[in-house]
Structure formats: C-alpha cells, structure tokens
Amino acid sequence: MCVRIKAYMNQNNSNILKQKNIGNIADLKDGDKFSGIVKIMKKWQPGPVIFTVSDGYGMVDAVIKDSKFDTGDIIEILGYANERAQKLQIEIEKIREAKIDFDLIVDKNSEPKNTSFTITSGRLEKLRPYFNSIAKRIRKAILENQPIMIRHHADSDGINAGLAIEYSCSLLMEKIGANPSYNLYRSPSKAPYYEIMDAFKDIVLIKKIIEGHGQKKPLIIVLDNGSTKEDIFGLRTMKSFGLEVIVVDHHNPGDVINKKTAVDPYLSFHLNPYIEGLDSQLCAGMLAYELAKWICEDYSNPSLPAVAGITDRSNIEEAEEYIKKSGRTKKELEEIGIAIDFIAYQLKFGSGKGLYEELYINPELVKIINEEVRKGVKNQLESTLPYLRTYNISGITLSTIDLEKYTMKFKYPTPGKVVGMIHDIVVIDRESLPVITIGYLADMIIIRANKPVLPVDQIIKRIRKDIPNAQAEGGGHECAGAIKFIPAHLNDVMENIKNQAKELNYEKEDKQEIC
Amino acid sequence: MCVRIKAYMNQNNSNILKQKNIGNIADLKDGDKFSGIVKIMKKWQPGPVIFTVSDGYGMVDAVIKDSKFDTGDIIEILGYANERAQKLQIEIEKIREAKIDFDLIVDKNSEPKNTSFTITSGRLEKLRPYFNSIAKRIRKAILENQPIMIRHHADSDGINAGLAIEYSCSLLMEKIGANPSYNLYRSPSKAPYYEIMDAFKDIVLIKKIIEGHGQKKPLIIVLDNGSTKEDIFGLRTMKSFGLEVIVVDHHNPGDVINKKTAVDPYLSFHLNPYIEGLDSQLCAGMLAYELAKWICEDYSNPSLPAVAGITDRSNIEEAEEYIKKSGRTKKELEEIGIAIDFIAYQLKFGSGKGLYEELYINPELVKIINEEVRKGVKNQLESTLPYLRTYNISGITLSTIDLEKYTMKFKYPTPGKVVGMIHDIVVIDRESLPVITIGYLADMIIIRANKPVLPVDQIIKRIRKDIPNAQAEGGGHECAGAIKFIPAHLNDVMENIKNQAKELNYEKEDKQEIC
Amino acid sequence: MCVRIKAYMNQNNSNILKQKNIGNIADLKDGDKFSGIVKIMKKWQPGPVIFTVSDGYGMVDAVIKDSKFDTGDIIEILGYANERAQKLQIEIEKIREAKIDFDLIVDKNSEPKNTSFTITSGRLEKLRPYFNSIAKRIRKAILENQPIMIRHHADSDGINAGLAIEYSCSLLMEKIGANPSYNLYRSPSKAPYYEIMDAFKDIVLIKKIIEGHGQKKPLIIVLDNGSTKEDIFGLRTMKSFGLEVIVVDHHNPGDVINKKTAVDPYLSFHLNPYIEGLDSQLCAGMLAYELAKWICEDYSNPSLPAVAGITDRSNIEEAEEYIKKSGRTKKELEEIGIAIDFIAYQLKFGSGKGLYEELYINPELVKIINEEVRKGVKNQLESTLPYLRTYNISGITLSTIDLEKYTMKFKYPTPGKVVGMIHDIVVIDRESLPVITIGYLADMIIIRANKPVLPVDQIIKRIRKDIPNAQAEGGGHECAGAIKFIPAHLNDVMENIKNQAKELNYEKEDKQEIC
C-alpha cells in the first residue's frame, strides 16, 4: 500500500500528452486513457481509496480521493493510467455504478486460449473434455483473484507436474496484473497420497491467508496424488472446510462406475486416464504439462513431460514423442529426473522453490548430482548383492534381500530404489522368465517384478486372509509395490509370499509377458 | 506505519461536525472530540510523530506534527478522532505534560470485571484468590501492551486450556485497541512438561520480538504443564533471562510445604489444585476456561471445559456440570476431544491455529476424524489382543504386550493409547479385581491399572533400588504412567514388576477400590 | 520505504542553520551539507525517487523528486542531510554524472583497518596473508551491499566461529549504514561437513533473497567445515550456481600439493593451518575470532577463542594465551562451552540467534545448564561403566561398550560424548599405556584413544580391505573418530579392529606418546 500512495501523490505525469484511449486493462500503458466497466476486487483502506479493479481479465489499481463503492461492486470508470517504474495505476476521474452481468465476461475470458496438445495422442484426445473444464476452472480462479494451492507427490513425476502448473499459473497471473507471491502456493506430499497431515497443514495455512491477508479461499489442485482410496480422508477433510479440490492423477483409482471413482464426491474435477479406460502410462507430469499449456498458452518447457515419463517408466509412444520434442537425449532427460528425485529426498518437506527449475538450465548441476548418486548406487549394490538369496520356485525366480541388515540408513538411494536396482540386475539374462525381487525391512516389504504373475494387490489380499493379525496394507502397480505390516509377522509374510509363488505352478502355466 | 501516515494526510474529515466530547478511548468514535490524560506506549518515528497512547484501558494512535514527548511519558492531550474505514486516530491539537499516578489507573482497570465461576463448585471457590491475582496480572499485561506467550501441553486438556486463554486475551486486546497479531503467541509442548528445548525456542523467539519489533518482554503462561520437578530446568532457564512465568496446571507437584511447591521459586503465580489440598480432577482445561472468563468477560465456549474433562477422565461433579452446561451429549464432546488429540498427533510442533477451533463448529470434520480414528483403534486392537499375555499373580490380573513387535510404528493411536484401550478391554468382567496392563517397547513401559494397588511412582522407586543400572525414570498418576530405562534391562524390569505384584499378596490383603 | 517517504515529506528541517560541509557519509549528521561522489546501490520505486547511495564506505538514502540515474551509476550529488529520529537522508539539490574509478575507492576502503592479532603467535603469523585477503574480501562484500551467508559446524568451536564472524560483519554494516537484518545470515550444519542438504537449503534461501528482495548473490562463508573431501559435493554445487565460497577450517584437508587442497577449485579463499604445514590445534573459533577483528576492528569478545580452544581440546600455547586474555578461569570457559554444545543439541537446525550470546554475559544460565548436563553425564556413566568390556591386547588396553543397549536414546550427552567420557575414566592410572575405547551402535562405532597407535583413518583403510562389503566410511583425528558401516557386519568390524590391535605387537614396539 505504501507503493500505491506514493504513486498517487505523484500527480505530474510527464506522459500525459501521448494519451490513447484503451478499453482493456492488460494492454494499458503509461499515459493511456482508460474507460470501461470493471469489478472491484479489493478496496484498500484507509487513506485515499485505492481499488484493485478487474475488467474480467486484466487487473490494475485505480485511485480516487474517496468513494462509497466497495469490494464486489461493478462500476464504470474513466481516468488516466499513470506509471512510475513498473507499477501502473489509473487515476479515476469519473466513476459510476454499472449494470452488467460481470460473471459472463469472466466466464468468457476463462475459456482456454490454447486448446491443442503438444503431441498427437489418441489417449490425450480421449481426455480432452477434462482438460477443457479444468483449465477453464483454474483460469477463472486466477481471473477472480482466487489463490491457487498446489500439492503434488514428491517424486520426479509429481514435482514436474507441480512445476508445470505453478509456472503456467504464475505466467497468467503476471499477464493480467495479479501477484503470484500472494496467490500461488506449492508444496510436496512425501506420501504417495494426499496425507491427512498435509491436509491439516494446508488448512492452517489457508486460515492464515484468509484471516491475515483477507484473501479468498484458495482452489486446491492435487497432482500425481489424489485418486486412490488412501486420499479420501484428506479430501473429505478439505471438503468439510468448504474447499474446492481438483485432482490430476494417473494412479489406479480402483473401481470406476459410470466414470465415477471413490474420491469423486470430494472433488469438483478429476482427471485420471483410468476413468476413460486408459492406464497409468500417461503420467501426471505429462497430463499437467498439457494442462499448463491450456492454462497459459505462453508456458513452455518441452523437456518436462519427457523427464516425467522416463522417471515413471512410461513406455507408450507418447513418452517417446515427448523425448523427441525435448531436443535432448534420453540420457540427459533421465539424469535430470534422477537429480530431481535426489533433491526431493534431501529437502523432505521443502518445496525447493527455485532449485528444481535450475536443473533444466544448469547441466553442470545435473552432472554433479548424478556423479554422487552413481557412487551411492554402486555402494548400495556392492553391499547388498552378495547377500541376495535367489530361489527358483516352480519356474519363478524369487530373490530376497534383508534391507535392514545390508543397507545403510538415511543414505540415498533409498531402500525402495535399491530393490529396483537389484531387480534390474537379477533380470539380466532372465528377461523371458518371471523374476520377482523382494526387499524387506522390519515392518515392510518392497516388491518388484518383471511380469505380472503375482500382482501386489493380490499378494496383499492373500496375506490379509492367511495372516489377518499382520494387518497387511499397501499397494502399487502390477509389478511394483510395498506392503506394510505388524513387525512380529515378517517371517510369516515372507513364507506366505513364497507359497503364493509356488501355488502359481508357473512352469505349467501359459507364458505371458507384460511388465 | 504506512496506514497511519495516510490517515494523517487525510485532513478533510467529513464527520467533523457531529463531534462529541469523549473521555475514554475505548468508546471513542469517528468525529468525537477527546480530551484526557494518557500514557505514551510507543512513539513511531521518523516522520510526523505518531504516538500509540493509552488512557489506562483503551489504546489509540494520536498524531502530531512534532513533539518532544517520548514513550513512557504521561501527557494530557486534546484533539479530534478521525476514522477512515476501521482505523481510528486522534489528531492532537493540544498537548502538555500531566502529573498523575498512571500505574494506579492501570491497576484499577486490571481488576477482572467478571469474578464469578460458570458453575457452582466448592473446589473452584477454594482456588478463588489464585484466579483473582492471575486474571489481574494477565489483564494488566494486556493493558500495558506486554506480549503474552502461551505454552501448553499438546493433548486435548492442554490444547483446550491454551485455546481458552488465547481467545480471551485476544478478545480483550481487540476491545482496548491492541493488535493480537503482534501480542499473542501460543505453542504446544509435546512433552508432559515445559521441556528445555521449548524454553530455548521461546527465548530465541522472544529475542526476535524484542529486538526486531521493539516489544516488551512477554509474560509467559504455561498451561497443563509447569508444576512438576521435570519443569524446573525450563522454568529456571526462563527466570535467568528475567522472564516472568505463570503456571496453571493440575498435575501432582509433589511436596507442598506452606502452600509452596518446588517450582514456585521460578514463578510469579502458580495455580494448581494440589496446593490447596485438592487433586488433579479439576483439569487444566477447566481451570483455564474459568480464568479466561475472568480475563475477558465476553469470552465463552461452554463445551470447552467439558471436552477437557472428558478427555482427561475427570469424574468429579464439576465435570458433569460442564457437560450439562455445554448443551451437547457426552458422546459429541468426547468425539471433539478425540479429534483434538488426533490433530495434535499429526501436527507435532505446529500450533494448529484456526484448526482446533473448527472442531467446535464443524460436526462433519469431527465425524470424519472419528471414523478414521475408530478404524485405527480396531486395527491396533486386532493386531495386539491375540498376543496379550495375561497372568494371575496372587489375585492380581497382570497383562503384558510387546508393543515393538505387535503395533505399527508412526500410526495413530500411539502405543500409549493402545495400552489404555487394551486395558479397558481386559478390565471388562473383572471390574472388582485389580487389573494391571503393561505395554513394553525397547526402552519404555507403559502402565495402566484399574486400582491403585501398585502406584507407578512406587514401581519406579523399587526398580531404581533393585536395578540401579537401568536408570529408570518417569512417572504418572496412581493408575497410569510410563517408565523409561536403559534398553539392556527390559527383561529385568518386567520381571521386577511381576515380583512387586507377587509380593503384594493381594489375595490376603484388604480389598479397596479406587481407580 | 514508508519510513523514507515520511522523512521526505518533512521539509521543515529545524536544524538547517547549523549546517557543516561534510564529504564522507559515515560521519554525516543531521543538518550537515554533503557534497561528493557516490554510487547508486539501489533505486527505490515508484514515488519520489529514493536512492541508496554509497561513497565507497558509508551508505545513506538520498531523495530527489525524479531522476534518470539508476542503480550502478556513479554520480556527484549535493544536498542537506536531514534526520528525524535515527534515520538520516540527503535531500538532493544538485545531481550530475561523475567520471571516476569507483572500484578503486571501494578497494581501498576494503583494506582491513586492523591487521594485528590479539596474541603473539608464530602460527598465526604464518597464516597472515590468508587473513589479509579474506578480511579484505568480506569487507568489500559489505561495502558493496552484498549479503553474507555464514554456515558453521554445530559444535562449540563452529558456533563460536560463526558468532565471531556474524558479530564483526554486523558491526561493520551498522558503521557504514547497511542493515544487517537483510544482509547477514547464519545457520549451523549438523554434519561435520558442508552437507548437500544444507547447500540445497541455502540455494532455496538465496533464490528467495535475490528474487524477493532484489539483493545481490550472497558471499558464502563456511566455518569449521569445508576443508575435507566430504565437503566437495556441497561446494561444487554452490559453485555451479555461480556462488562464491570462502572456507575457514582447521580439519585435516588431506593431501596438500603446492598449497592446494582438493576443495580449492570450488573456493575463492581457503584458510586452513594444514595448508601452511600446521595442524588442527589452531581451531576454527580462534581463526574466526582473529579474522573478525580484521573485518571490524571494533569487535571484541576475548573469551570466545578461549572457549573454542578448550572445547576442541587444543593444547598449544595459543590456547593458554587466549585463556589468560579472557579474564576468566578455565572452568568458567569450559562451562560456557558445555552450555553451547548442550543448546546446539537441543536446537538441532535452529541458529539460536540471541541465545548463545547470552552465555557470555549470563553466568546463572551457564550454571543451570551445567548442573543439568552433569546429571546426564552421571546417569550415562552409571549405566554404561558396569558393562564396559576391557581387553589387554599385547599391551594395548581396548575397551568396548554396546551403546545401543546401555545408553538411553535422545538423551544428552550423546553416544559420541559418552564414549569420550568413558575413555577419560579408563585412561586414569593408565596414562603411560595405549588405551583405546570403542562404543558401538548398530551401524556405527565411535573410537577414542590416548595414543596414536591405531589412527582411525588406518583402521578404516584396513576394514575396507578386509571386509569390503561393510562399506566402512568415516574419519576423524589420529585419536578420535567414527566409522559407519552396513549393520550386518558389526561383529566382523569389531573383531577386525581387535585383530588390528593385536597385530601391532605393541609390547615389542618402541613406545611413543602423543595424543
């Protein structure tokens, strides 16, 4: 407000002669004459009245000595734009009430200006209606000065999704004269779902924003999380506070009935490829990147969806297309993804604002981090591989490793990643056979497989039946997942899984290969 | 300060004609003429001089072009109140030194306006002098613009106590024109005492407030913590910084000699029912609620002391009275308490500002959380009960459970609460017999009993004697508590407790029933 | 900026008559006339133009209605200084471009004013050139309004080093009119090196400072950390962001070739006694204290290097000299150091701003903390000593203790300190013989020795050779250190060390005594 008053005091506008009549705020320049209908978004008090007004797209401050009009009023004003340095404002000369359906204007301007995808994809076309309604909703929030609060999974896919939406929203805000510093928030969720702890923290922050700064209730956008039954608790909680949540995710939402999932009652919009009969291969980073281009057509970072696809092991043609479009090699993109995952591990709950972005423009940083990660990988493999136990169970190669004993704690790569790396090595020269690799901790096992002979959800279901006291829970894809349980039952759980493999009688089964 | 100068600049006060002579600041309105004696609380510099003045109750800004008077001076001023929007200030026309004992005025205004309790209670009446002096002290701090810093135990009782004091202080601040944002702080202590870590953090914050914002040393209020010997380290530390601490607690302070406890040398005031020969049944939430009504008579939330009483298992008639007065069912109140405990568990060191309050007005949120907690309780019971070992030791039913093996880590309810729930189940149909339930972790045991046959303090004393190397420490009530020790001695500690039970020869003893 | 505009508005300067002509900003007083050449450090906009100008030493705000000059321009101005309250500014009457080599002026003012050490020391004299160039660089950063960001090890030596540099920089900033609140940052590193997590956090903060407040890239100063190979990852990362880092450390940097170490490629300056053939006995607190006196000659706290020396067990004559100069007893100084270590343990990642300083002026606080630490030491010794196993291995006394079983977790003193205390007791009456004490946790052993018969680096090298799968890593001095390894190999590692001791055949060796 201090800035505003100074500009107001400065009456001798040297540009007053080169004035032009301008009707839309976004194009307004110093010395232009503006006349048009606007909505008051905010009235700053006390002192000479300063309104933040919007013509349904652009936002600008407009000053007048005194006025009875208030936030929410639709008014017609006439005055000269006055710029000192970067900051523009209109000095109101005439002001009067306006009768107009202002919502109609906002609604029209909320329509995405770009509605094409960056690649040709039948999968994306199938999801077009979701892109349209979600992009419009987010643009509308920005035009109406509603804050945007982004929560995303804290892995490469989720972080890339978060960055894409953050940057496109930021660009649109700047275009229309809104300030991203007060209107845009982004934080990671360490869990692979919208955890209740995160929801509670978000609510505390929202209360602070609303009460402290007099802002509107933010629009919540959950990315690469939000679709599964684990998300219900957090989403329900947000809804009970009257908050609107949009989810863009690619994880399996479970049953889809009439295009509705279990989390839909708590969302205004839900974009998930499974809802349209697709799978998880269009990952969150890809979906969010395309959405970002619809939110603000100026946004672009073609490497981003490629990195997301590689780190989430997407192998559909869209993934290849993104890699091609990125203008980088697959190795370069992969190394950016590895660096993102490493930084996320180090920062824990920090958003890493300004740090992840650097990876796309600072190859030296990517190189430094990858060198270090490679050392860690080498160490973890050297310390675990000699102690890997490998069984041939009726044709299935099942390997187990005690992660508690054979890995170092609080070291990157994490136990989960170590199991993946071990698995990739076990699979070598066994590509045609089913290989399952299991790492176990005191109360958790991590599973990786190259073929979906024993899907993780099926393993859990069976353990819950055979060893109910183990309270097994968890989940994952067909060929990767994690199971948590009561520590006392570790041995029983391990034996049970081996039995499940045995019962498959795989050697006698039809061979199929998918993972 | 920017706001102030704008108001100052705005000389054409359109309300100047409807002026009234007013002598007290709190009742001052736009256009009124004020004349009276005030104290300068703060002098804002540089620029036109802006004083924050107080007449010993209300506070307001008063502006003048220049002045030699300074913070702390008592002056007589005359001028017109000028309001734009919400902010009022006096434009000083006449100013001169005033000779008056200003402290006397503040002292008089510090007397609580409400001095009755919300329920009829002999116990509360016994504590009346404490309420009077503490309410007066806190009111005085607020009238003198001294910040208030609240620390409270992070369970339902402590959080409720914290909310009651926070809200009543906030109300009084707003009434007199002080800004709670800069004058009121509240944080939880995870430990059941005023931990040294919390004390250090408080000091760092206090240094920042004083040096950064030029504020006075705050008045520290410790709630539902502060009375025990574990609190001494933290309280002594605060005193060494010249900080004043008030404690309102209901935990057993140990020896009370001439109404003095071991922590009293470090406190200005200490409200604890034990000091007057009572016990812990008047819990902190009840005490703080009544105190809050004395601090600011406008404050009210009749459900709050009822929730505190239920979650702290108070079964005196006062607890019943509060439930009756709340206008809610016991179940509704209990569920609010469960939700508070659950949120506290999730937020860890966060104050949860704005979140706990919601539970009293948003039944849907209470319901969502309770549903989830019930699921967690069911899981934890199912995974532990089959492994509970129950012994009959000369008439005492003693049950033990290995919490390390049979509970899931970082899951709610916590191991401590799980022991309580198991105990409640073991007691069923054994109400008339002594039942002791013990959960053990690697370096800690948690004890619950239905009769005080083997008080926790007595158990610890004996272990310290028999197994000094175990370094046993801890505490609790007669029928609930926790003992920490060196991990190597877990088995010895467990055997020792069984022996202690055996030696009681309970079957031959007189039967008494209390817990 | 609000403050500035108010001062600008206040045109009636009552001191206008007593004006003096003054040529340097730092000596400027209210009412003086200033004329001289200055550089614009910052241009505040919009409103009447306010420049923050520097004459190459002092900084002040200068206001003018409008101006085409911009940040970085060298200008000649004439105007009157105008003070209201503490804040001074020049009201520019004349302004014009100036042609002058401004860098030369800054360079000259950057030369340290004090260039003598507080004690007579051949060791310090050997390092004189480093003091000169580093002090000059830091002074230059301050004169050019570049922020300073200090990272230091979180023990007594590192914290004292951090305090010394923080306070001297702060003093110089205040002298020249810069604001330490926006220009000076200090944080602890929990690891004994500049961890990558800390580097990432620093970058996020730096991005925020630069983008949010428009500040320059800060100068990074790493204290009591930064010299070892473990620091390379963090330092390289900072360099890849174009950040300049200075290291002042006393830990062994490994090979020094042509006065260059492995970290030098990533630093602008590196002060480490090893580079000049000295050892670690001139600890970081001593080096930083002397450097602080060169940065700002007004800075002084003679107890600080003495405390650092005692807590880092420095026994060179310089350490004695500092103790003498401190005016305190060795016991007083030692207790301050113990209190610093205790507070650092409690605060974890907090900088403890305002808290550590207090220990030098509040003996009561030092006493309270030491009493509590003594209790903790007593407990830890009582619980461990009975279970210490002591072997005589060919003349070497080797003692081992299982810290996992016999110490309490999350209690002060930490396991590492406990091993040191046990060792000091074992050594009593065995001073002339080699004594090695080893404490072990699941994945780590901590070693202390009284003679360098078996240096920690040598132990690690041998374990890496004999048990490569253990992935042993770590380090330390000749007689103290820690080794981390894969948990599964604990027993092998312990046996291996005993064998290493055996192979020494110490009884037949020449006896030497050093540690």
For helices C490-503 and C456-466, angle between their N-to-C axes, nearest 10 degrees? 120
Q: Which residue of C has its CA nearest to B68?
A: C85
In percent, the amount of chain A with pLDDT more than 70 equals 91
Q: Which chains touch A (3 or more CB pairs under 8 A)?
A: B, C
B487 — contact with chain C (CB < 8 Å)? yes
> For residue range B277-301, what is the model confidence (pLDDT) as tens digits?
999 999 999 999 999 999 999 999 9
Question: What is C135-151 written as a DSSP string?
Answer: HHHHHHHHHTT--EEEE
Count H helices and E strands in chain B, helices first.
17, 17
Nearest chain C residue to A87 by CA: give it.
C46
At B70, give phi and psi (nearest 5°).
-140, 170
pLDDT tens by residue, B128-140: 999 999 999 999 9
Q: What is the ipTM for the molecules in this complex?
A: 0.89
pLDDT above 70: percentage of residues in chain B: 91
Q: For B407, which residue in chain A has the nearest alpha carbon?
A: A486
Question: In this structure, is the dihedral angle defined by the CA atoms of residues A23, A24, A27 and A33, taken in order, positive or negative?
Answer: positive
Cβ A237–B350 below 8 Å, yes or no? no
Span C483-512, average pLDDT? 87
Written as six digits, the tokens of C73 are 């321009």
Classified as helix, coil or strand, A349 is coil
List pLDDT tens digits, range A363-410. 999 999 999 999 999 999 999 999 999 999 989 999 999 999 999 888
Q: What is the pLDDT of residues C473-482, one digit of tens each?
A: 988 777 889 9
* Distance (Å) from the alpha carbon of C466 to chain A's nearest alpha carbon: 14
Which is nearest to A89 in space by CA: A173, A19, A32? A32
What is the model's pLDDT at position B84?
54
Note the pLDDT of residue C48: 72
- CB contacts of C207 in chain A (<8 Å) are 353-355
CA distances from B134 to B140, B174, B254 (A): 10, 20, 22
Establish how many alpha carbons lie within 13 A of residue C513's alpha carbon, considering only the half-sphere containing its beta carbon.
Answer: 6
Assign C4 a pLDDT band (cuts: 50, 70, 90): very low
For the cut 80, the answer to whether the pLDDT of residue B11 exceeds it is: no
* Closest alpha carbon to C76 in C45, C57, C102: C102
Is B18 at the interface with chain A, CB within 8 A? no
Which of A200, A238, A464, A473 has the highest number of chain B CBs within 10 A, making it the mutation to test binding with B?
A200
| B265 near C CB under 8 A | no
- Mean of pLDDT values over B95-102: 87
Count of CB atoms situated within 10 Å of the CB of B15? 14
CA distances from A267 to A245, A280, A297, A301, C30 (A): 5, 20, 26, 28, 63
User: What is the residue-wise DSSP string for A284-329?
Assistant: HHHHHHHHHHHH-TT---THHHHHHHHHTT--SHHHHHHHHHHTS-
Name every chain A residue with its beta carbon within 8 A of the beta carbon of B6.
1, 5, 46-48
Distance of CA A122 to the CA centre of its chain: 23
Could you tell me the sign of the dihedral formed by the alpha carbons of C58, C59, C63, C68, in that order?
positive
Give the pLDDT confidence score for residue A239 in this predicted structure.
98
Of A2, A208, A469, the CB nearest to B354: A208
B144 bridge partner residues: none
Q: Is C381 exposed, middle or buried (0-12, 13-18, 19+ CB in 10 A)?
A: middle
Cα distance from B304 to chain A (closest Cα, Å)? 20
**Structure token pair of residue A411:** 């070291």
Residue B445's H or E segment, with its range, is strand B444-449
Interface test with C, best of B3, B63, B200, B404 (most C CBs within 10 A): B200
- pLDDT level of residue B17 (50, 70, 90 thresholds): very low
Q: What is the b/e burial string over B197-229, where b = at least 16 CB atoms within 10 angstroms of the residue's CB?
A: bbbbbbbbebbebeeeeebeebbbbbbbbbbbe
Q: Which range is least confidently modeled, A51-65, A290-304, B427-441?
A: A51-65
Residue A112 has pLDDT above 70, yes or no: yes
Closest-CA distance of chain C to residue A405, Å: 5
Q: Do A347 and C47 lie within an 8 Å CB cutoff?
A: no
Count CB pairs under 8 A between chains A and B: 96
Cα–Cα separations (whole angstroms), residue B304 to A138, B156, B358, B369: 40, 10, 12, 18
> Which among A474-483, B204-213, B505-514 has the top mean pLDDT?
B204-213
Could you give the CA distance from residue B395 to residue B192 in angstroms, rounded to a whole number?
Answer: 33
Give the tokens for residue C7.
């001062």
pLDDT-derived band of residue A211, with 50, 70 and 90 as boundaries? confident
3-state secondary structure of A173: helix
In A, residues 60-99, which contact C (CB 8 Å cutoff)?
Answer: 83-87
Q: How far is CA B82 from CA A63, B13, B29, B32, C165, in A?
A: 21, 7, 8, 8, 49
In A, which residues are within 8 Å of B343 by CB distance?
200
Instruction: Compute how many other C-beta atoms are within 10 angstroms of the C-beta atom of residue C411.
Output: 16
pLDDT tens readout for residues A434-474:
999 999 999 999 999 999 899 998 999 999 999 999 999 98
Give pTM, 2 decimals: 0.91
Higher pLDDT, A357 or B42: A357
Give Cα A314 distance to the centre of its chain. 17
pLDDT digits (tens, 9 = 90+) for A423-435: 999 999 898 889 9
| C448-463 residues labelled b (16+ CB within 10 A) or e (exposed) | bbbbbbbbbeebbebb
Query: Between residues 324 and 363 of chain B, which touch chain A (CB distance below 8 Å)?
Result: 343, 346-347, 350, 352-355, 358, 362
Rounded to 5 degrees, what are φ and ψ at C499? -60, -40
Burial C275-313 (b: 16+ CB within 10 A, else e): beebebbbbbbbbbbbbbbbbbbebebbbbbbbbbbbbb
CA distance C85 to C104: 34
- Work out the average pLDDT over C201-225: 93
Range of lowest pLDDT (A265-269, C40-44, C258-262, C283-287): C40-44
pLDDT over threshold 70, residue A513 = no
Instruction: Give the Cα separation of C300 and C303 in Å (integer).
Output: 9
Q: Which residue of B has its CA nearest to C350?
A: B201
Report whether pLDDT(B48) > 80. no
For position C2, what pLDDT does the model report? 33
Contact C87 B45 (CB under 8 A): yes
* pLDDT tens figures, C273-312: 999 999 999 999 999 999 999 999 999 999 999 999 999 9
Give the three-class secondary structure for A257: strand
pLDDT in the model for residue B209: 92
Residues C493, C507: Cα–Cα separation, whole Å? 24
Contact partners, residue A33, CB within 8 Å, separation at least 6: A19, A20, A21, A22, A78, A79, A80, A81
Checking if the pLDDT of A39 tops 90, the result is no
Residue C505 has pLDDT above 50, yes or no: yes
The angle formed by the CA atoms of residues C461, C466 and C471, to the nearest 5 degrees, is: 65
Distance CA A89, CA B457 (A): 71
Give dist(CA C395, CA A239) in Å, integer: 73
Output the DSSP codes for A403-469. HHHHS-TT-SSPHHHHHHHHHHHHHTT-TTS-EEEEEEETTEEEEEESSTTS-HHHHHHHHHHH-GG
Question: What mean pLDDT comes out for the span B362-372?
Answer: 97
pLDDT band at C360 (very low <50, low <70, confident <90, very high): very high
Q: Taking all residues of chain B, what is their mean pLDDT, rounded to a whole number?
A: 90
Which positions 159-198 of B are in contact with C (Cβ < 8 Å)?
196-197
Whole-angstrom distance, CA of residue A407 vs CA of residue A404: 6
The answer to whether the Cα torsion of B326, B331, B335, B338 is positive or negative is positive
Rounded Cα gap, residues C440 and C423, in angstroms: 13
What is the distance between the terminal CA atoms of chain A, rounded to a whole angstrom? 59
Q: How confident is the model at residue C515 (pLDDT cuts 50, 70, 90)?
A: low
Q: If you average pLDDT over every residue of chain C, what do you get?
A: 90
Query: pLDDT tens across A292-339, in order?
Result: 999 999 999 999 999 999 999 999 999 999 999 999 999 999 999 999
Averaged pLDDT for residues B414-437:
93
pLDDT in tens, C58-100: 888 888 888 888 888 898 888 888 765 556 778 888 888 888 8
For residue A252, the model assigns a pLDDT of 92
pLDDT digits (tens, 9 = 90+) for C133-151: 999 999 999 999 999 999 9
Report the residue of A6, A201, A204 to disrupt the B interface, i.e. the one with the largest count of B CBs within 10 Å.
Answer: A204
**pLDDT tens digits, residue range B184-210?**
999 999 999 999 999 999 999 999 999
Report the pLDDT value the prediction gives residue B510, as an integer from 0 to 100: 55
> What is the average pLDDT across B42-69?
79
Query: For residues A12 and B303, which has the higher predicted lDDT (pLDDT)?
Result: B303
Q: What is the pLDDT of residues B386-407, one digit of tens each?
A: 999 999 998 999 999 999 999 9
DSSP of C178-239: --HHHHEEEEEESSSS--HHHHHHHHHHHHHHHHHH-PPPPEEEEES-SSSGGGHHHHHHHH
Mean pLDDT on C428-447: 94
